[in-house]
Amino acid sequence: MDYRFVGSTGLEVSELCLGTWRFGDESDEQTSHRILDEFVAAGGTFIDTADVYGYNRSEEIIGTWLEGQSRDDLVVATKVYAEAGPGQLVQGAGRKHILTAVEASLRRLRTDYIDLYQVHVFDDVTPLEETLSTLDGLVKSGKVRFIGASNYTGWQLQKSIDLSRQHGWEPFVCLQPYYNLLGRDAEWELLPICRNEGAGLIAYSPLAGGWLSGKYRRDLGAAPAGTRGEVDGSWQRRDTDETWRVVDALLAVADEAGKAPGQVALRWLLQRPGVTAPIFGARTPEQLTDNLGATGWTLSDEQMDRLTQASDRPLPYPYETQALPQFQRRLRHPA
- Which residues are catalytic, by number? 53
CA dist 175 and 112 (Å) reads 24
Nearest residue to 294 (alpha-carbon basis) of 116, 39, 62: 39
82 within 8 A of 90, measured Cβ to Cβ: yes
CA dist 118 and 81 (Å) reads 9
* Secondary element (H or E) of residue 76: strand 75-80
CA dist 214 and 230 (Å) reads 15
Q: In the chain, how many H helices and how many E strands?
A: 13, 10
197 within 8 A of 161, measured Cβ to Cβ: yes
Cβ neighbours for 206, distance < 8 A, ≥ 6 positions apart: 179, 180, 212, 265, 266, 269, 278, 279, 280
CA dist 33 and 39 (Å) reads 10
Q: Return the axis-axis angle of helices 128-141 and 154-167, rounded to nearest 10°.
A: 60
DSSP-derived secondary structure for 254-271: HHHHTS-HHHHHHHHHHT
Do you find a cis peptide bond into 318, omega within 30 degrees of 0?
yes
CA dist 105 and 219 (Å) reads 46
